[in-house]
Every structure is written in structure tokens, then in C-alpha cells.
Amino acid sequence: LRAIHEQHERLAADLGVDIVRRNGFYESADFYAPAMLKDFLGEFLRRESQRAREGGMVSTYTLNTGLMPILDHMAALEFDCFDSIDIAFNDFDLKRLVESQPEGRSYLIGPSSVYHLWQDDPEPARAAVRRCFEVIGKRGLLISPCPSIHSIMPWNNMLAIIDEWRALR
């Protein structure tokens, strides 16, 4: 399986792909003990991001929840960007996450689809965008609903995200 994965990455580089995304949605402390993640996936994930870089590609890693117990594990990985992190869970500390990671890491992050975007009030979405800018700053921040936005959510929330991003960028 690893050999096939490596072949896919080489093919992506040969085809001129710019970004390789790993979906690690379930590779968190919600499902595994931190030591298990480090032992089972640590070296594999480091090699994956290194191969992407060697192939001239940027690498992103999708992680959503259950991150506070694995900050050291995340810091040891060499992905360029973490994406889809949900900032609204009670046990999540965005400032602590950012402070624990190497300089230059990027974040595709923003309002929580679970907590901010279902409401018929755009202010929580705006406040989440402001929080991301406050903690991360302009450099290395890509604003996006996390992990996604759905057609059944009030569209005004997406417009508020865009409006707030324009005001702060």
C-alpha cells in the first residue's frame, strides 16, 4: 500500500500537480492515543510531506478535531499547511496550536460549520474570522469554512466570511 501511495505522489509530481492533500480527518486523538499516532503514522507522514516537497509540491494535512493532545506530533510533521481545523470546540485553543507549530506553517481555517454556520446570524462567523486573523495574522492564513459549508446553511454566513476577510486582509 505504501508503495502505491509513493507511486501516486511521483505521478502527481510528474504531472505538475501543485498541492498534495492528505485527508487525516480521523487521524487525531478523537480516535487514537497520541503515542499510537506517532508510532503508526509519524514516520510515514513525514516521508509523505518530504516527497511532496522534493516533487516541488506543497502538502496539506486535513485535521478537524481532537488536536490538543497531539500538538507535539503535529509539530514534528513537515506538512506545509493544516486545513479544516475546527476552532469552535470547547477543548480547542487556537493560540496554543499556532504557538506549538514551526514557523512558516500555514492554516486553511475559519468559522466552524458545526458551530458558526448553522445559525441565522452572521456575527459568529465574522467573529471567527476576526479570531483567526488575531491569532495567526495575515501571513500563512487562508480563510475557509471548516470543514465545509452546505447549501442548507444560511448563505449570509458565507457572505459575512468573505466580507470580513476583505476587511482584514
Q: What are the tens digits of pLDDT across the range 121-159? A: 999 999 999 999 999 999 999 999 999 999 999 999 999
Mean pLDDT of the chain: 94
What pLDDT band is residue 7 in, cutting at 50, 70 and 90?
A: confident
What pLDDT band is residue 99 in, cutting at 50, 70 and 90?
A: very high
| pLDDT given for residue 12 in this prediction | 87
Helices (H), the chain: 2-14, 34-37, 43-54, 71-76, 94-100, 123-136, 155-168
Instruction: Give CA–CA dist 54/9, Å, rounded.
Output: 10
Whole-model pTM: value is: 0.91
Cell numbers found for residue 144: 475557509
Region 29-51 average pLDDT:
95
Is the pLDDT at 2 greater than 80? The verdict is no
Instruction: Give CA–CA dist 112/145, Å, rounded.
Output: 6
The 10 Å Cβ neighbour count of residue 18 is 8
Cell numbers found for residue 37: 499516532
| pLDDT given for residue 154 in this prediction | 95
Is the pLDDT at 1 greater than 70? The verdict is no
Is the pLDDT at 48 greater than 70? The verdict is yes
Region 69-86 average pLDDT:
96
Residues 6+ apart with CB under 8 A from 99: none
